[in-house]
A and B are shown apart, each in its own frame.
Chain A
Amino acid sequence: MATITRTEVYPRLAPLRTSEGLLDWLRTTDHKRIGILYLVFSGVFFLIGGVEALVMRWQLAVPNNHVVSSEVYNQLFTMHGVTMIFFVVMPLLIGFANYFVPLQIGYRDMAFPRLNAMSVWLFLFSGILMYFALLEGTLPDVGWFAYAPLTEHPFEQGAGSTFWAVGLIVAGAGSIATALNLIVTIVAHRCPGMTLRKMPLFVWMVLVNQFLIIWAMPFLTGAAVMLLFDRFLNTHFFHGTQANPILYEHLFWSFGHPEVYIMILPAFGIASEIFPVFSRKPLFGYTFVAMSGVAIGFISFIVWAHHMFTVGLGTIPEAFFAATSAVIAIPTGVKVLNWLATMFRGAIHWTTAMKFAVAFIPMFVIGGISGVMFAVVPIDYMTTDTYFVVAHFHYVLFGGSLFLIYAGVYYWFPKITGRMLSEKLGNWHFWLTFIGFNLTFFPMHFLVGMPRRVYTYSANSGWGPINAIASIGSVIIAVSVMVLLYNIFLSLKKGKIAGGNPWNAWTLEWATTSPPAEYNFATIPEVRSRRPLWDIAHPEQPDWIHEDNVTVPASVPPSSVAPPIEQVAPRKFTPAQMLMLFFISSEFIFFVTLMVMYTVYSQHFTSKQLNVPLTAVFSVALWASSFTMIIAERCLRKDKRRGYYTWLVITILLGAIFLAGQAHEYIGLYQAHTTLSSSLFGTTFFTLTGFHGFHVLVGLVLLLTMLFMSRHWSSKRDLPVTVVSYYWHFVDWIWLLIFSLAYLRTLIPY
């Protein structure tokens, strides 16, 4: 390893691979190429979602218009929302994270390059799968949140909601895989010296964001799975005499509100990179900006019901969620103040990236203020499902996220391609976007009386002129996108050569070539401060003096008193172990979703038909298998192969006994006419215990694999067995919660 200093050299190495063909892209595991794939695929979906928006604005441009039918209009606004959220904004930010996180932390790739590759393809295929609905004659047409019971079979005979649910489950799997990968990469692979308090803020925000993804996405997966069960297996989660469709809304928004921050936090990270570089100052209040991101992440999980005030939640829940929704504005405001303070008395460089970043602040503040207005319950009652809401969330997601994504494109394009984007065309792009965006969405604030999602309106409603202005604005946005595409096309061919660090920036991605070599860095860098390249360029005034409060005597150069490189703390867990543990935390949330449904609905049934003592016996077998697994692992670590075989086989047998017991119980219940579709008890019980049984089955398959591959394992190579054992312990002990909830509860007399 080498410290980055002005005098040391990264030798340029011969390329590891030279092929540039299509096959090389299909099989790539390079995080930079995967990042580019994310950006390109998202860009294509952006064009599709944009065309959908344009058709909607064409339809609404004048009253009583009939460009499209009401049915097609329903499909357009549904797919516009789904596409822009899941297949544009999220993956664009993940694309940037894929490309730049390893570079910014001084590493050569993601922790799990193959998993990374699988994630990008899952993202692409899930998007294609969603649009495959066209083969069935209709795209999903139930809004991006697909509220039940409108998505239930009695109300929707088409396959649209099925495509919605399946597409998002597959996309969610890809997102969770990427999130786990990014978390482990950031936790385990930061270069020497890059402690948490010296990590670039983009990396900080990406890290917080990935936790939001792994803990929020299971709510959506759970809701989508239950919806599919209702549609295919006639269960009663959200439809039926005792079913409560409001629970769907709770589940959806438990995901949906963190999702808003999933789409903005990494963009905040981009802003926190751009403002300092183009103000030529370090970021003001680094710790506040980082910690406010963490605070936003936590609070985002307790604000969901402000999307549901009009449901009539009751005074206390409304007061609670109104308060939390107002509170979350505070850490967001902290960030805005820090960005403004960063620019204050800075030497502002009005590059296109900076223009978009600066413009983002007022746009986002407008969206933020109208967002806080929704925390006021009476205002929320008046404005729900009107164009005021449409204006609000476009100011957050377009004026907020997309403006910063554009800023990120101009900032990082030189690093990705080695060429500069044209600033002249960038200027055109910026102003067309700024004018078009405000022309489209600002007037919508005054359409408070117009419900969203209507496909037309009467002439005497008075909404015509504002809609016409909005439609003109949307055309200007379309032109701006064309300018951006032309700029990219032109710059790829004739753009000015960028060099390694065209912006004179300070984070590690700028310490390597543009585009970076496959291995990113010839030697792994070491850093002493948040701005390692500043330290290199200014050895007389390095940042670590201030960051670490080092006293430098006037008579000596700072380098002579430089503190040793702070080693990133040694980790107890390997990356593979971390991956499994974080995955288990995500799985736990999924089971929480199922357990909450069971608990809420349990007021409608007694479940006295369950044979608690018999199940207790099977349960003991499962829990015992956890201990036998521990013994098997210990034997392996001592190279006692016979003991390992024996205890692993016993573990598998105990797991199989549990599954056999569950099958026996299911058969008994079915013979007594208790089925998935017979009652709320059947629906929730079989889903909860069935999913657990499926997890046990997967665990058994993994254990059998470990058994059959035993010749590969030894005391020196026990990691796969350890990782599988984590999963096995999880399925064993989550059953304690489920058993208590579904079985022991029936013993309580009340």
Chain B
Amino acid sequence: MSDHEAVGTTTAVPDEVAGHAREPEAAAAGSGIHLPPTSLWPITLAFAISVMASSLVLNLWPLIPGLVLFVLALRGWSKELLDGHH
């Protein structure tokens, strides 16, 4: 079975299916869609891990702030999860 339609011709998926707006806009809040909120804890945790790792190669002083940041990030992240922000 082959389909010899040209690429990008009018037989492409109709706009309605593709989700282009033809209908009145509906508020996402009322759509039942749940997306995770943004969070600074992931980047903070990654930074903390990297700072702790850098103490191995540079010197030991970054270990303490890295550890503090690590604990804070884990705490913040866990709190978001407990608060129901899945």
Contact = CB atoms under 8 A, between A and B. Distances in A.
A125 B50 CA distance: 6
Contacts of B36: 29, 109, 113-114
Of A13, A174, A521, most buried by chain B (CB within 10 Å of CB) is A13
A115 to B, nearest CB: 7
B13 A511 contact: yes
Interface residues of B, number: 52
B49 interface: yes
B28 A500 contact: no
A117 B39 CA distance: 9
Interface string B1-34: 1111111110111111111111111111101010
Contacts of A516: 19
Contacts, number: 204
Given A117-B42, A129-B57, A511 B31 contact: no
B11 A499 contact: no
Interface size class of A (residues with CB under 8 A): 35 or more
Contacts of A571: none
Interface string B37-63: 111111101110110011011100000
B35 A114 contact: no
A281 to B, nearest CB: 5
Contact of B53 (A170, A346, A709): A170
B48 to A, nearest CB: 10
B21 to A, nearest CB: 4
Contact of A13 (B6, B22, B26, B47): B26
Contact of B41 (A6, A114, A347, A504): A114
Contact of B46 (A6, A174, A511, A537): A174
Contact of B19 (A129, A173, A174, A513): A513
B18 A510 contact: yes
A14 B27 contact: yes
A174 B50 CA distance: 11
A585 B7 CA distance: 44
Contact of A10 (B19, B42, B58): B19
Contacts of A6: 14, 16-17
> Which 6 pairs show the lowest CB-CB distances between chains A and B?
A500-B18, A121-B46, A117-B42, A125-B50, A118-B42, A12-B21
Given A119-B46, A519-B35, A538-B3, 14 more contacts: A12-B19, A14-B26, A27-B39, A29-B42, A125-B46, A126-B50, A170-B53, A280-B5, A281-B3, A347-B2, A510-B13, A513-B20, A518-B35, A709-B82
Interface of A: 4-17, 24, 26-30, 108-109, 113-119, 121-122, 124-126, 128-129, 132-133, 135-136, 159, 162-163, 166, 169-170, 173-174, 228, 232, 277-282, 345-347, 349, 351, 499-504, 510-513, 516-519, 521-522, 533-534, 536-538, 541, 546, 709, 712
28 contacts: A8-B16, A10-B17, A10-B18, A11-B24, A11-B25, A11-B26, A12-B19, A12-B25, A14-B26, A27-B39, A27-B42, A27-B43, A29-B42, A109-B36, A114-B41, A114-B80, A117-B39, A117-B42, A118-B45, A129-B50, A136-B57, A170-B49, A347-B4, A500-B15, A504-B6, A511-B13, A511-B18, A517-B19
